[in-house]
Every structure is written in C-alpha cells, then in structure tokens.
Structure 1
C-alpha cells in the first residue's frame, strides 16, 4: 500500500485518519490509514459494501469508529454528530438527500442560520443569501421561495450541494454528487470544486463514474472488503486498473454489442399523456429488446414510466397489451392506462423506481420480505405464508445476484446502496415480469454490481422480456440498448436504432426545443450540438 502526496511543500495535512475501524456484527472497516492535504481531491472508490460510506460517515460525525483515531489540522478530531463536524468545517453531501420537502429552497439552504430580528424571519435577506449560494453552482434560475418538493431530483441534488458549499469548509465529502445532474450542472459543480481546491479545501470524492475521478481528483484510494488496498496518484491510472483493484478481478462491461433480434410487440402506448408533463407519446416495446429513454431534467422520462406502470393516471391516450400478458383474446386495450400499479403488476409489468429508498423498498423489513413482496401468492397457500418456501426463494436470489449480507433476515436499510438495488431487482426477477420498466437502475451502483445487473438484464431479454431503461448516463444506454428514445419537453422527439446514434446526436435531441419529430426507427435527426455538452450524462426528470 502506498500513500500519495502532492508535490513537496505544496500543501499541509488537513485530515489524518489513523487505523480507523468499525464493527457491527462483523468488521465493515478495518485499519484504514489516510492523509488528506489542503487543496487535494481524493477519489475514494470501491464496490458497494466496501466501506466507503462507513468511512465517510465516520469523518462527518454520523458514525462513531470502533477503533483508531483522527486529527484535523493537527488537533484531535472525534465529532459526535454531523452538526459537531460541520462546526469544525467538515461537511458532507450525502447520496441520499437530507432536505426538508415542506420547506423552501432558501429555508433548506440556510436552515441552521436563518436571518431573523426579534424572532421574526427576515425573508428578503434569506432569499438574497440563498440566491448567492445558488449562483455558485449555476442555479440562478431557481426561485429561492420554491418548495423543495416542487423540484426534480436532479435539482434537489444541486440544492443539497449548495447547502454544503460554505466559506468555513475545510474538508468536503461528496458522495455520488453527479448521479442525477445534467451536463451543465455537472460542469458547474466541477468548476466549484476547482475553486474550493484553489482555496485550500480538501475534497473526498466518492463516485462510481471513473471518468469523473480522473477529471477532478489528485489521488485515488481503493477500499475492498473494508480494507484499504491501494493509494496512489491519479495521474496515469487507467480505469481498468481501478476496477481490478476494486473488485479483485477483471470486469468486462458491454461494449459494441450487436443489435438484438426483437420479437413481437408486447406493449404499446398510444397518445399517452398527463397535463403538459407527458404530451401524447407513442411508444412500442418489443419482446427480447432493451429500449432506452434519454432526456434532461423535466423532460418527462420518469413521468412517462410512472404512467406506464399506473403510479400516475394518464389524462388521455391508451395502453395496448398483446398476447402473453394474461388476456385470452390476445389484445387488451386500456383507455388512459392502468388505474393502479397493482393492475399493472397483475398484467406482468414491473418497475425499478428512481428512488429505491422512498419508493422501492420497505427499509425496516428483511431481504426475504422485500424479495417476495411483489408475488405473495407464490409463497403462500390458503392465505398463509409458507416460510420455508419463502426463505428458499430469497436465498436463491441472494446467491444469484451476489447480495452482500449477513443473512436473508438482515434489514435492507443496513445494506449498501448497490446491494439494496440488487434486492429491488430480485423482487421483479422473482415475479418474472414480461415488461420491466427501469428508472435509473444503476444509480449509485459500483462497476462490479453493475456488471451483475447487466447480466440479469441480458438473461431477461434472452427469455423474451421487454425492457424500458431510463438512465442519466448515455454511455450506459448506448452499451445496453437496442433503441434509444429521447424525451424533450414531455414529448418523445426521436428514436434511434443501434448503430445510428452518436453521443452528439442524442444530446442534441435532448436539448432540442423543436416541435415533435415522428419517432421512427430509421431516421436519426440532425441537430446542431448543444452548448456545454462536454459530459455524456443527461439527468433524470
């Protein structure tokens, strides 16, 4: 193991971590020693469950270490809470948002230092201070008085980031900060990180997007199974090297796959719409193929998926299901779509939600319960659960998906994000859905777990399932999909066949304000490149 340093004399140590470990039922972090210097950006990498989040939470006062100690600026550092760490200049932008949905953007940004006089909130000053914070990350167009609940997840993520960009920050921990951001928002964030580094702020950057680590980080530290296995300067390190150190084996992701041979149409949307959020979309899903959906914040991708699942009710249009989904006549038309998700599930449709914690899992329940939740009829008889049968199903999917856990009775709230996502997948694999809708299915998932999930998607298409995948990562869509549709302003503005798209054409369509284009399988539209399209990520709606 090697400890990286910046050029001699360039910076002083800010944070020292010495032999830090954490035990729960078993050790999850063991003997980690690191030094972080002023103005340095450290990439903290590893598979889900490797200990990245635990180490980050120890640094930020959310978790107390079992052993070891830390120092900040040469003084002993043992924060007892997140507020205690923030008082000492150590802040964290967590992957799971910590905003208060019922409060405004301004109130969330300055919740711990609201300007007031004689007990009365000085709202004009509050909004001025909030506008200054928002401007740092290029969000001048957001009204500080807007309720956070009215923002998309990508915008909420930017508010969470802005809340932690304070002038007294000495160490800033960023956990998957760009997972839901647009290219422009990501660019603004990177510019702000560069400014913070120039001011001497030390950055710990956790991300599974390895190209981001190479863009902004000086040093890379790799955790595996709770241990620090490598620390080295980022210069000259290849993505493949990082991946192999993370997982202990070579991982081959999908590159240049051939076009799958699509089967018959399974489900069609005809003029489906809801207010101005989703506007008269026509869409066909075929057996044995993956169709992707790209788009920017507010483009309507997530809203369209929710309509197709019945989580929201359409105002207009209809869905058509073809033979094999339980309709004896072979074709079933549903005016305005499903009335409820249960109706969709019974017809053979599943949904991997964008937000697994609030919409996809029962966090307090076990892996076993969450795995079999979508099909209780298969694990019960006469209204009574068959525990042994249920346990057998859960164990089979834990082994198949390589879920890291102590047992199938472990509460999913205690799993890492990637392992939680595998449990969500297990639920729908158990259900054997004919149509699976996937909204950001690999958000916050490491490269090893992502390869496992991709393999399951391949098995599903080989079995004739139809998949619709929403992703903010264009590289993922281009690697996995046979067709990619692009949403803009609630409309499906273009559909590209494999071999006909480029990053530029997909981004150009996403940024297009043009009238609706007929979604064809053969005609790729030609647009001028969008401004500031340096990234291949399109954020979620």
Structure 2
C-alpha cells in the first residue's frame, strides 16, 4: 500500500496543530516519523486513520484520493494503529482483548473459543510472548499489555501498521523479537510507520525518516543519508551537544536503606542503599521485579518481611500517604492510569500531593498554588496554553513532565523514577536529565528504573541489576557496559 499525504492542515479551536504536513509511505518500507512531543506526529496519523478530520490537504492511497471515516474503517481497509497509550480493557481476559469486536462465531452465534485460542497462541509464539490467555489484562504489566496491543494489530493482516512508541515498555530481548517480526512483515510487503524517540532503534530498523517540528514537515531522508546529530538538530531546531549532561555528584549520607525486603512470590531478600546526591539506576528484564520492589517501598504493595530505613531512622510505610510524609516521591511507569487524573487540569494534578503546602486554616491559597504551578510549567517547559488545560489534552511527553512536576513539589528526600523518559522526545529527555542533576545537587537521592540501557549507563552513579526478584549484580558507573548489565539480567555472573 502506497500512501501520500499532501499539505495537511489541522487546528483544534485556536490551536493550530498541523501547518502543511507532507508525508509519504511506500509499500514494504519501515518509515520513521520523528519530532519533539507536540510536533504533530500522532495527529497526522490520527487524520490518516479517520480519528480526526483534516481542515485541508489531500490523502491518496495507491493513487486514489481516499479518506477513512473512522479507525475501524481504516482497519477494515488494512491500516492498523498501535497507540502509545494502551487501549486494553483491564476487566477482560487477554483472549477477549485480542478479539474484541472481531470475535469468531459459529453459524449459530456461539464463540469459537478453541479456534481463537489457537490463533492467539500462534501470534504469541511469533512474538515470543508467554501470557496466559485467560488472565485479566489489567493484571498484566505495562510491557505485557504493549505486546497484547502489538499482537492484536498483527492479527488483522494489515497492509499498513502504525506503531507509536511500540518498545517504550519492552525489554531488550522483546525489542529484538519485535524487530524480527517487523523485518518479516517488510519482506511480505507490509508498510510500517515507526514513531519513536529511541534513536538507536530508528537507525537499526527504519528505511527512511521524516522529521516534524511545530506541526510542519522539516525533512524526509533515506536513513543511510542522515545521522543522530542531524536528526536532533532538525527536531529541536538547535544543536544538542551532549545526549546525557555531565554529572559531578556530591554524594552525602545514606538517605534510604532497604534491608532484606521480601514480598512472597515476587521478590526476595532485596537489600540496597541510596545516598543523598546519588542516582542509582535499576535495570533488569521485564517481570524481574524492578517495579514491584519500588511499589512496595512506596507503600502501594505490602512487604511480607524486611526493613526500610530513611535518613537513619526505621520507617513504617503502610501506604503512599505515609511514604509522602517520609519524603518519598514515586513517578510510576504508567502515567495514564497511575500518574495522572486525566480529567483534572494541570494545576490540580500538580497540586494534589502538595495541598497542605497551599492550605491556610483549611482553605486553599489560590495565589500561592498558581505561582507554584506557573513556576513548574515554566521550569519544565510544559507546552500548554495555561495551567487550566486538562492533562488528557497534552502530548505524552508533556503529561510525563506534569507527573514529574507534582512530585518535585513535595520537596522529596528520595525520588523514585520508574521509566521517567518513556515516550519522551530527545530534547525533553535532556531537560529531565538536567532536572535530575539539579535535584541531586540539592541532596535528593534518586532511584531510576529504566529499560533503556544507554540511559541507565549515561545517568547512573551506580547500577543495580534485578533478576527473578533478586539483585543479581551491582556495577559502578566506570565499569558498566550493556553487555555486563544483560549478563546479570539474564542470571549470568
């Protein structure tokens, strides 16, 4: 399928989102679509698949002018969209999610459950996925939910697949398997639009790249004719000299110490410490227990045994409210369901953990609250018209900045960052890294869980590797390599 989009314009009210975008997708190519958060990448694809209507411009498919009425109409014609924000139904089983709206039935209307299970298993085998089909999707990890969405799209026999941050929650091993599937699809003539902020992936898997900035097409090139610095310069309109800002940590006293923390069946005898001014990276494969350890530290899940010490004192943390009182902030990996109240404004989201700071005799001081919110919007360069904008109306990267801002506001002693740059563009990533440096300069102890090995190595002072619920290795920054981390992550020595 050949797609040509010419001079596409789109505005939402007074906000001009697209201003003359051109995009071409050739048959059997993997085409990278890159740009900062808010550049218009998702919007142009939503116009292609009929979710939004263009204001002007043309779309041609295989030489004929064609416009889809809805995403379902697009899917019927062979165009599938795997969205960055996952669309699983948590109370339904994995199997039900895979076939929702496309159930196989007998001539009597009965579900062909056996046949559906066979098809699902076949697709999961292609992706090397091992998730019970009768498990509720809501009990699956974010990475598993991502694989469910990918499998669902592949089962439509699509001619065009749009992948928006498909590897954001996947491990290195799962990414390799996904790339094998993409290469196989390319050989079959399937075209793929690959939206990602992970530059290494773009240069590994893609044939061509289109860069967008501020709702416009900046350039389209064959991938071999460009490089990392050229792409970044076109995305952000400026040079980005260093990917990871230099760290000169001034490490102080032990701020957090975990002793023999155990949650039965999940992780066992986990012990580590983090000092003030230090960034400790936590790596490991999906399902190793990284996130589960952090959830228990924050009081979201119960520890069966073990101790947590904060600033030299034993802490009894039974819930997140107590964790916040002890000075712990937690930026979760799933901003959509756990990090934000999407129907609340930016202001209300940022203020939630900080209400006592704005209260006087039981009443909110609006002036103090607004000054606080305006300062953080400016400091984190959140792209919005005002603090009254609803969180759901922001791009993924700007939503992530709101989540970070609300926890900075409590003045944390310990800040846990679980996948802090998932779905965030290269410019915004650097802003988050610089912010992490500023926080550690003020003595904050940071734990950063990340699936991106370059990020773990680039920003951590020490690295802990988790394997099957245990810390399998610890590496100093000076000795850390991707190979060593993966050796520990897979149970090697």
TM range (shorter): over 0.9
Residue 91 of structure 2, aligned match among 102, 109, 113: 102
The separation in 2 between residues aligned to 1:448 and 1:255, in whole angstroms, is: 11
**1:259 CA drift (Å):** 6.2
Q: Secondary structure at the match of 1:506?
A: helix
Give me the TM-score of the superposition, normalised by structure 1.
0.88
Q: Secondary structure at the match of 2:97?
A: helix
Matched residues, number = 491
Quote the residue 1:328 is aligned against: none
Residue 22 (1) aligns with residue 10 (2): yes
**1:234 CA drift (Å):** 1.0
**1:280 CA drift (Å):** 1.4
**1:150 CA drift (Å):** 3.1
Please list every run of at least 4 consecutive aligned residues from structure 1 whose deviation after the TM superposition is greater than 6 angstroms: none
Q: Is the 8 A contact 1:266 1:321 kept in 2?
A: yes
The separation in 1 between residues aligned to 2:376 and 2:247, in whole angstroms, is: 28
Residue 164 of structure 2, aligned match among 155, 171, 175: 175
The separation in 2 between residues aligned to 1:307 and 1:253, in whole angstroms, is: 35
Q: Secondary structure at the match of 2:479?
A: coil
Give me the TM-score of the superposition, normalised by structure 2.
0.96
**1:472 CA drift (Å):** 0.2
Q: Is the 8 A contact 1:127 1:145 kept in 2?
A: no
Residue 281 (1) aligns with residue 262 (2): no
Residues 472-503 of structure 1 show CA distances to partners (whole Å, capped at 9, x for unaligned) of 00110111010000111111121111212221
**1:128 CA drift (Å):** 0.6
The separation in 1 between residues aligned to 2:122 and 2:360, in whole angstroms, is: 61
Residues 50-70 of structure 1 show CA distances to partners (whole Å, capped at 9, x for unaligned) of 101111211122222222221
The separation in 1 between residues aligned to 2:210 and 2:245, in whole angstroms, is: 30
**1:90 CA drift (Å):** 0.6
Quote the residue 2:222 is aligned against: 233
Residues 9-57 of structure 1 show CA distances to partners (whole Å, capped at 9, x for unaligned) of xxxx611112111101310111112221111221100000110111121
Residue 501 (1) aligns with residue 480 (2): yes
Q: Is the 8 A contact 2:247 2:459 kept in 1?
A: no
Q: Is the 8 A contact 1:300 1:487 kept in 2?
A: yes
Quote the residue 2:127 is aligned against: 137
Q: Is the 8 A contact 1:289 1:466 kept in 2?
A: yes
Q: Is the 8 A contact 2:261 2:268 kept in 1?
A: yes
Quote the residue 1:463 is aligned against: 442
Q: Which runs of 5+ in 1 are unaligned?
A: 1-12, 323-330, 515-526, 528-541
Map residues 101-250 of structure 1 onto 2, 5 A cutoff. Answer: 101-117=90-106, 118-139=108-129, 141-166=130-155, 168-250=157-239
Map residues 3-402 of structure 1 onto 2, 5 A cutoff. Answer: 14-24=2-12, 25-117=14-106, 118-139=108-129, 141-166=130-155, 168-253=157-242, 255=244, 257=246, 260-322=249-311, 331-334=312-315, 337-402=316-381
**1:254 CA drift (Å):** 5.0
Q: Secondary structure at the match of 1:138?
A: coil
RMSD over equivalenced CA pairs, Å: 1.5
Q: Which runs of 5+ in 2 are unaligned?
A: none
The separation in 2 between residues aligned to 1:144 and 1:372, in whole angstroms, is: 40
Q: Is the 8 A contact 1:259 1:498 kept in 2?
A: no
Q: Is the 8 A contact 2:259 2:272 kept in 1?
A: yes
**1:138 CA drift (Å):** 2.1
The separation in 2 between residues aligned to 1:142 and 1:356, in whole angstroms, is: 23
- Once the two structures are overlaid, the 10-residue window that deviates more, 80-89 or 58-67, is 58-67
